[in-house]
Amino acid sequence: MFPRRGDNAGFTLLEVLIALAILASALTILMGSMANAGQQAAYSNDLTTATQLARGKMYDVEYKLMDDGFSELEQTYSGDFTDDGHPEISWEAKVRPVEIPEEAKEQFLAQINTQLFGDQSQGALKGNAAFSAMLPMLIGQLPQIINNIGRKVRRIDLVVSFPFGGKEYPLKVTEYMADPNTAEFNIFGDTGSQESTK
């Protein structure tokens, strides 16, 4: 049995030390959580800033393409956001024509052939000989048609890099833009008169 304390007895040194140890552990966990939350909030703020700058820069690149016209070659633009008050944030934009890889063309044609022709029990045409003679020729021209359309479309890959915690973090944005300078063109192949003069 433990001896009873008097009415005026205080805490022992051991009890105070145990209480302080518990308090120190709780404060350590709390401070760690607060620091992590603060870092997440700061990163979110920087990411929001980078997103807004990327949106504005994408508009700038679009207007430049409208003024300069589309090039057959890949174009690269770069810089930073000093004028917007963020010299520490940089950007790079690559503009390239849209093309279909050869393997994608083959897969595309194989899928169409399967869907349309198949055999007597499969495919939308179910082996109908009247259509089977003409459609392969038309289907064979689809990649050329799509590539001709692709010549009027540009893919813009924009990367905005912002620093945080001693590291560079990239924000990547991709957009497709149609040539505004050519109202109409021949999908089977452009003629010189239909090319954009810019």
Any bridge partners for residue 96, and if so which? 155
At 134, the pLDDT band (50, 70, 90 cuts) reads low
What is the C-alpha to C-alpha distance for residues 157 and 121, in angstroms, rounded to an integer? Answer: 45
- What pLDDT shows up at residue 195? 43
Q: Model confidence over 106-127: pLDDT tens digits? A: 776 677 667 666 655 554 555 4
- Residue 77 contacts residue 58 (beta carbons within 8 Å): no
Residue 118 phi, psi (nearest 5)? 55, -140
Instruction: Report the alpha-carbon distance of residue 87 to residue 82 in Å, rounded.
Output: 4
Angle between helices 102-116 and 135-150 (to 10 degrees): 140
pTM (predicted TM-score): 0.59
| Chain segment 62-121, per-residue pLDDT in tens | 999 888 888 888 999 999 999 999 999 999 999 988 776 667 667 766 776 676 666 555
